[in-house]
Amino acid sequence: MNYLRHHSITANYRPLGLTSPPPNFAVMQPLLYKHLSEEYESRGELEIGEESITVQPNVFAQIGIIDVNGVRQMWTKAIIPALLDGRKRELLESEGESQADLEARIVFCDIGSGVGNVCLQVLSETKCPKSVGVEIIPSRIRAAEEASKRAKLLYSDVFSKKEAVWVQGDLVKCAARLNEEGVTVLFTHSWMFDYDLMTKLTNVIAQVPSIQCVVTSRKLDEKVLASTRLRQRTLMHFNADWNDEAPFYVYGK
């Protein structure tokens, strides 16, 4: 095959050589989370004594995972199109900015990030340079931090220039930190949140003007959202562990 390259017509020929396959988080994940015991996972990713946290206000510590393919679908079919939509698409074209350039400026946030798998997948498989995981369960934050360390060690070529930020705390009190980190895209698996908590979550989002796209499994509070430029753009379905066609609401500016 290499000799065929020499017959290509090009103004500036440069041998391409062999290239590495793109990162595949499905392959990475078992190694990054090797430290999680079966006992820990069987308890719902809770250490003994953390059960009391799950009954506190604003806490729904359910385990519901959007799978690897679901994250890919969300990124390519929801997040990127929402960011490129409408006026922004025209602006990108007029300034000569590519989709890759746009992706490289995304700061992704997962509210209720668990052990951090979605945040790490986004960092590994996209050009997104920074992800922020917000989680109230301390052991899950520790698990995410350990997975991040493993990622830097085992896949330094992928993660060396990427930043994973882990925030342990109540989601309704995280607006200041999201502003500090410059979050532009927010995802939350919120299907167990009640109406009151969805209103509080929407209030948090309204306090972070840098957010340009939100993907959530329950609708945001439209009355609160009216004070922002965010509007529901579409309803999409992605692969998740509880449903092959789990519904997610996509918001954009």
The larger pLDDT score, comparing residue 249 to residue 99, is at: 249
pLDDT of residue 62: 62
Tell whether the model's pLDDT for residue 98 goes beyond 90: no
Average pLDDT value over all residues in the chain: 86
pLDDT tens-digit map of 125-178: 999 999 999 999 999 999 999 999 999 999 999 999 999 999 999 999 999 999
DSSP state string for the chain: -HHHHTT---SS-------PPPP-HHHHHHHHTTT--HHHHHTTS--TTGGGGGGSTT-------B-HHHHHHIIIIIIHHHHHSTHHHHHHHHHT--HHHHHTT-EEEEET-TTSHHHHHHHHHSS--EEEEEES-HHHHHHHHHHHHHHHHH-HHHHTT-EEEEEES-GGG-HHHHHHHT--EEEE--TT--HHHHHHHHHHHHT-TT--EEEESS---HHHHTTSS-EEEEEEEEEETTEEEEEEEEEE-
The letter for the amino acid at 251 is Y
Which residue did the predictor score with more confidence, 112 or 16?
112
Which pLDDT belongs to residue 64? Answer: 65
Confidence grade of residue 14 (pLDDT, cut at 50, 70, 90): very low
The fraction of the chain above a pLDDT of 70, given in percent, is: 81
pLDDT at 79 over 70: yes
- Which of 66, 59, 28, 61 has the alpha carbon at shortest distance from 47? 61
Please state which of the four CATH numbers 3.40.50.300, 2.60.40.1930, 3.40.50.150, 3.40.1440.10 is assigned to the domain occupying 24-252: 3.40.50.150
Query: What is the rounded CA–CA span in Å between residue 173 and residue 35?
Result: 30
Cα→Cα distances 75→180, 187, 193, 241, Å: 23, 10, 23, 17
Which of the residue ranges 21-25, 29-33, 89-93 has the most confident prediction, judged by mean pLDDT? 29-33
Other Cβ atoms less than 10 A from the Cβ of 99: the count is 14
Give the tens place of pLDDT for each residue, 213-222.
Answer: 999 999 999 9
The model's pLDDT over 27-72, given as tens digits with 9 standing for 90+, comes to 999 999 999 999 888 887 877 877 766 656 655 656 667 899 999 9
pLDDT (average), residues 184-201: 92
Which pLDDT score, from 0 to 100, does residue 206 have? 98
Burial category of 3 from C-beta neighbours within 10 Å (exposed 0-12, middle 13-18, buried 19 and up): exposed
| Backbone dihedral region for residue 50 (phi beyond 0: left; psi -120 to 50: alpha; all else: beta) | alpha
The pLDDT of residue 86 is above 60: no
